[in-house]
């Protein structure tokens, strides 16, 4: 008698695109410039499909950005393999924030389209430890220098698990 597989069958997600979303029209993508080294920015970790950056606009305790290294405007454009890689990096970032800062909460957010407050037309997640009073700062925040974000990276890096090879 043949035994049935106990592994779940994961259906392939039908890919769409962001043709219906009003996305930011940036003349040159800031994230692509950071990833190429054209503009200085603190990179906490990177592999061939995903990078974890320390944002200069700290809206929480250790506010990081998790972005695919390839340019996709929104979640609707993101291929399944890159979506998995981003999620694994997001989980690693959460673990490192928890260990390095011991926050009582970790906020994760992601915006698609101008009405959802997407400011840069390159898919990305924000992740940050919560503030002492809870939540994150949604208002205007001071822009840190790269040397200040490097210090944040130095505190987090020992706790960051190695990013897995891309799927």
CATH number, domain with residue 82: 3.30.428.10
Output the pLDDT for position 16: 54
Those residues with Cβ within 8 angstroms of residue 149's Cβ, 6 or more apart along the chain or in another chain: 41, 42, 54, 55, 56
* Domain hosting residue 78, numbered range: 36-132+142-159
Average the pLDDT over 106-121 and give the result: 91
Average the pLDDT over 109-131 and give the result: 92
Residue 18 covered by a domain? no
Handedness of CA 52, 57, 63, 66 (dihedral sign): negative
Q: Tell me how many domains the chain contains.
A: 1
The Cα 2–Cα 131 span in angstroms is 55
Output the pLDDT for position 91: 97
Question: Tens of pLDDT along 47-89?
Answer: 999 999 999 999 999 999 999 999 999 999 999 999 999 999 9
Query: What DSSP state is assigned to residue 19?
Result: T
Output the pLDDT for position 32: 94
Residue 24 covered by a domain? no
Q: Is the pLDDT of residue 9 over 50?
A: no
114 three-state secondary structure: helix
Residues found in the chain: 167
Say which residue, 167 or 91, is predicted with more confidence. Answer: 91
Residue 21 covered by a domain? no
pTM of the predicted structure, to 2 decimals? 0.86
Residue 85 covered by a domain? yes
Percentage of the chain exceeding pLDDT 70: 89
Q: What ranges make up the beta strands (E) of 13-124?
A: 42-46, 50-54, 61-68, 106-109
Average the pLDDT over 104-116 and give the result: 92
Q: Is the pLDDT of residue 160 over 90?
A: yes
The Cα 24–Cα 82 span in angstroms is 21
H or E stretch at 80: helix 80-101
Q: Of 12-21, 54-63, 120-129, 141-150, which gets the smallest average pLDDT? A: 12-21
Please give the angle made by the CA atoms of 34, 15 and 165, to the nearest 5 degrees: 50
Q: Is the pLDDT of residue 5 over 50?
A: no
Residue 167 covered by a domain? no
Query: What DSSP state is assigned to residue 48?
Result: S
pLDDT tier, 166 (very low <50, low <70, confident <90, very high otherwise): confident
Residue 6 covered by a domain? no
Residue 82 covered by a domain? yes
16 three-state secondary structure: coil
Handedness of CA 88, 84, 130, 32 (dihedral sign): positive
Residue 62 covered by a domain? yes
Distances (CA, A) of 100 to 50, 79, 139: 21, 31, 25
Output the pLDDT for position 14: 47
The Cα 13–Cα 35 span in angstroms is 28
Question: Tens of pLDDT along 34-48?
Answer: 999 999 999 999 999
């Amino acid at each position: 008698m043949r035994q049935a597989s106990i592994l779940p069958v994961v259906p392939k997600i039908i890919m769409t695109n962001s043709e219906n979303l009003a996305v930011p029209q940036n003349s040159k993508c800031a994230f692509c410039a950071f990833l190429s080294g054209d503009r200085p920015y603190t990179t906490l970790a990177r592999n061939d499909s995903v990078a974890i950056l320390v944002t200069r606009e700290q809206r929480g305790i250790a506010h990081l950005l998790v972005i695919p290294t390839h340019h996709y405007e929104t979640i609707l454009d993101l291929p399944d393999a890159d979506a998995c890689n981003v999620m694994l990096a997001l989980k690693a970032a959460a673990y490192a924030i928890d260990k390095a800062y011991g926050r009582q909460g970790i906020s994760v957010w992601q915006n698609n389209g101008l009405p959802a407050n997407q400011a840069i037309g390159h898919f990305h997640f924000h992740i940050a430890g919560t503030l002492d009073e809870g939540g994150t700062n949604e208002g205007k925040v001071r822009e840190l220098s790269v040397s200040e974000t490097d210090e944040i990276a130095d505190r987090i890096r020992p706790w960051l698990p190695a990013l897995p090879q891309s799927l």
